[in-house]
Structure 1
């Protein structure tokens, strides 16, 4: 079971640290996620995905996309964890909700400052009129789980200190002027959706004085489990290829020796904390009809309802995993953004319900 840890705790990841060097072709591959990552016998890691980044837009002028400014703020100099803060155009000292966002990438690739995530979180901030904190967390296999979870929890601890504005403590001026710390939400897609859940578990029972977690948004979350469900029982085809890929990702991300019923993988498994302990009551789960992770997300949603949570499930018909990133012009993207915005700005006169985007 996860234990709520203070930010000052020194998390020792040295046993999982793997040097990042160029990989000699003569070395044997000891682990691989095809098309994504290779680990060689000397511990060298090769990431096979584009790792380009984009700088923040520090001003709210015409050069900033959709009137959103952004800046990078280091949370923990020791680990290198930082957030990219996105500030939409607001009126005066207007206070708005805060969204803490975790990018996807199978726990081992991706970045808060990659073009795809910079553009998407920028769009969320613009559409929903919220301050977004996109988290650059540590990744596997150099830092296996739960490092990313502790990084996310550390961001919440930092946010609480910002909200308390203790005398002499540095306070970000954007947050000081515009953040409504009583309305903080967690969100993430794919592996980031998994991180959202685990950060919520870490926050269980944490009585912050400065901030309040109101809800969570999980987009196509990455969960697993030993018992086969849905497409996983199909004997061949695309589902089995994805199953092998998924096994490889969990193998390099989970603690050594862990199986897929480990709480980090299976939030509804026999060894996982009760969902009723989650700090927030409102949860929005997005699934895509063609996504091979869909059945796990639906199972999670059903367990949330049984646990008494105010959960909604939104299905995007005809779409695949994280379509909003790879097909941003899809007709389903705009309704999805609106649903996210409505979730953080609920109207008391309109009851929540399950809808398809």
Structure 2
């Protein structure tokens, strides 16, 4: 576990407070969460949360564009598969999450505009869980996608057309997880990762 005394200006800079048990409290007013859009008629896509690893308290929020539901009623497009976008949020490895309003809205918008299934990963945060925990969680999410057990993935997802995207710390995680996935190509089949999209990715030294 990271020694709290070695994290400079923790409360002032990151706005999180260390607890005696080694966990950290993140203020809800700065890092709020929103529920998935299961039945909001004003949302451009439906979304749901699915447990990834109950022991690690990780999960994914899956976004399904409404246009998929509209097109599935016609026989000509009912069997059409769509690209899968695995998204990894930023936040300095320490804050935010898949349920943060900014990331929820972005993934919902991206799903609709790109006509893709979006899988946003709720990975474990530092400093409670130091790297490579986040890398391992996103790799586990890729394996969850490739298993195709989720009904949305089964019906609408094209496992041969997957792209990973992340911003800031999420870009770093996507890059390193992409390297890990490249070394496990056979294990991930039939999931094929066609590219990485890094949005202002964070890269720095050990310190």
Q: Which residue of 2 aligns with 1:180?
A: 158
Task: Select which of 191, 195, 199 maps to 1:211.
Answer: 191
Shift of 1:209: 2.5
d(CA) in 1 for partners of 2:60 and 2:3? 22
Taking only aligned residues, the RMSD between alpha carbons, in angstroms, comes to 2.3
2:116 is aligned with 1:111? no
Is 1:55–1:113's contact at 8 Å kept on the other side of the alignment?
A: yes
Is 2:23–2:128's contact at 8 Å kept on the other side of the alignment?
A: no
Task: Select which of 37, 45, 54 maps to 2:15.
Answer: 37
Deviations 1:158-216 (A, max 9, x none): 11211xxxxxxxx2111111000000110010000000001101112211222101001
d(CA) in 1 for partners of 2:98 and 2:111? 14
Structure 1 residues not aligned, in runs of 5+:
1-14, 19-27, 163-170, 226-258, 261-357
Task: Select which of 38, 57, 72 maps to 2:37.
Answer: 57
Is 1:57–1:64's contact at 8 Å kept on the other side of the alignment?
A: no
SS of the residue corresponding to residue 152 of structure 1 reads: helix
d(CA) in 1 for partners of 2:19 and 2:41? 46
d(CA) in 2 for partners of 1:16 and 1:73? 29
TM-score (norm 2): 0.85
Q: Which has the bigger relative contact order, CA under 8 A and spacing at least 6? A: 2
Structure number with bigger Rg: 1
Q: Compared with structure 1, are the counterparts of its residues 29 and 183 closer, same or farther at alpha carbon in structure 2 (3 Å cutoff)?
A: closer
TM-score (norm 1): 0.50
Structure 2 residues not aligned, in runs of 5+:
73-77
Deviations 1:10-41 (A, max 9, x none): xxxxx4599xxxxxxxxx89643434235559
SS of the residue corresponding to residue 111 of structure 2 reads: helix
SS of the residue corresponding to residue 183 of structure 2 reads: coil
Q: Which residue of 1 aligns with 2:75?
A: none
